[in-house]
Structure 1
Amino acid sequence: MSASADRNSNTRAIVTGGAQGIGFAVAEALADEGCRALALIGRSQEKGDKAVAHFRKSGVDAIFISADVSKVADCKRAVATALSHFGTINALVNAAATSARGSLVETSEELFDQIFDTNVRGPFFLMQGVVAHLLEKKAPGSIVNVLSMSAHTGQSFLTPYSTSKGALMTLTKNVANAYRFNRIRCNAVLPGWMDTEGEDIVQKKWHDAPDDWLAKAEAAQPMGQLVKPDQLARLISYMVSPQSGVMTGSLVDYDQSVAGSSPE
């Protein structure tokens, strides 16, 4: 048996965006590493039902909670539903996000609010619910937030998105510091350009990308690929697990570009 085969056997997790993309890949990694209690949060009941059926085939007690993380009431209901079903939760992965485009001068108030409600407010109140439960139970726990390399600066057409990820970056470190002595850990990963179903939609909607955009994009990358969800998921599942020890407040860049570097 490998060292990672059962490292999440005691993990009882909520994963936002868990029915597709990064969230689903994280849920798969957790299940493969022994997690048998998964609450997947998303907006599509159809995708959620399909994901739950997938996990239940392998003996995972998986549930889908239809919720919009941009709404505080939905976040609170999602945590309450997970706790009602499982009795306790000790892990949270905030993978749901919107990467809607907008520059400083083009971003409307409505778009700004939509991005911040989804990318910052949702994770804030989901963490609030999970941490409050852990404090009440005097139990340890682990949170991983999915940020973006854009949190370091971001492109001109990603101003509100980049700013929201920067806010979540500070929130991650603040929560990590606040609850260290309660053994509640909070970390984050910052992936670069990713090959996801959602990215394909974004490229075609916002950038008029051709059908072969992925092949062209990957050919131009130093390592010949974009970040793959299953690769990132294994890092996240490690960070969630007790195997990552005392790791907290860490921001892990996961990309083939190096923040702060200059072309040679």
Structure 2
Amino acid sequence: MTAPFGQSLLGKAVLITGGFQGVGLEIARHAQANGASRIVLAGRDAGKGERALAEIPGAELVFGELGDPETPARLMEQALANGPLDGLVNAAGLTDRATFLDGTAAIWDKLFAVNARAPFLLMSAMIAHLRERKAPGSIVNIQSMNAHCGTPELAIYSASKGALATLTRNAANAHIADRIRVNGINMGWAATDGERDMQARILGKGEDWAQQVADQLPLGRLLEANEVARLTVYLLSDLSGLQTGTSIDLEQWVVGAPR
């Protein structure tokens, strides 16, 4: 029998990257509310880490810059020092803008390091850990609808998320017999902390940018972080059964339909 949804992660230990803010922190809230016995949050800002700890009592914090190729293995080693893990959520990511006309090798390397290489290395370490224990587990990658194509200014970002979507399917196929499930969520447009800063400050679209965008959408609102969190908890839990290798579109338009 599986646990009821309110306790669907009962007894499970989960590592969440990008866990100090935004979608990652919201996933941590929902994981704790659904019975997770241990939550490890990974991030890089000490101040944000302390604030996250205040919201997720009992959580463990691990610090590191995912752009550093040595960081993923170190974060996993630190997380495992206090006990085994059952789940991994790759929620950290960068959304720097770059087109084919202004993109550079430096931006490419920066985005791929955090959005593709770091999740690959974390998945690799998690899979090795679960195989050594001969234990089942679940990995959820927070991807993007832009992986299907993306807008011109998100050319490199879209490519990095497309790479992550392929890694999701590859890992799921390679390790299904190990009872390790790997799924992804293609997030649509959400007013996360990072996106608010990008739109309002960096792109100069003003503090009311979210409402202006929402007014043009079918449901009159942007995607909410709690919707991503609920789906993540479902995919982490046994409620999702044998589901693996899927990338779920979480957006207000259907790929392939006219817009």
TM range (shorter): over 0.9
Query: Counterpart in 2 of 1:128?
Result: 124
Matches within 5 A, 1:231-242: 231-242=227-238
Query: Counterpart in 1 of 2:35?
Result: 34
Give the secondary structure class of the aligned counterpart of 1:225.
Answer: coil
Change (3 A) 1:206 1:46: closer
Distance 1:11 1:224 in 2: 36
Distance 2:160 2:238 in 1: 29
Query: Counterpart in 2 of 1:115?
Result: 111
Deviation at 1:205, TM superposition (A): 3.9
2:61 to 45, 61, 64: 64
Distance 2:61 2:69 in 1: 18
Distance 2:200 2:99 in 1: 18
Query: Counterpart in 2 of 1:48?
Result: 49
Deviation at 1:105, TM superposition (A): 2.2
Distance 2:207 2:22 in 1: 19
Give the secondary structure class of the aligned counterpart of 1:93.
Answer: strand
Where structure 2 has 5 or more consecutive residues not aligned to the other structure, the ranges are none
Query: Counterpart in 1 of 2:171?
Result: 175
Aligned residues: 257
In the alignment, is residue 212 of structure 1 matched against residue 213 of structure 2?
no
Q: State the one-letter code of the partner of 1:38.
A: I
Matches within 5 A, 1:214-229: 214-229=210-225
Distance 2:67 2:5 in 1: 34
Distance 1:72 1:185 in 2: 25
Q: State the one-letter code of the partner of 1:250.
A: T
1:101–1:206 CA contact under 8 A, matched in 2? no
Distance 1:211 1:54 in 2: 26
1:198 to 194, 197, 201: 194
The CA RMSD over aligned residues, in Å, is 1.1
Q: State the one-letter code of the partner of 2:59.
A: A
Identity of aligned residues (%): 37
Distance 1:69 1:189 in 2: 20
Once the two structures are superposed, residues 190-243 of structure 1 have per-residue CA deviations (whole angstroms, 9 ceiling, x without a partner) of 011111111111112443202211111111110011001011100111001111
Q: State the one-letter code of the partner of 2:77.
A: A
Query: Counterpart in 1 of 2:10?
Result: 9
Give the secondary structure class of the aligned counterpart of 2:7.
Answer: coil
Moved over 4 A (4+): none
Query: Counterpart in 1 of 2:72?
Result: 75
Where structure 1 has 5 or more consecutive residues not aligned to the other structure, the ranges are none
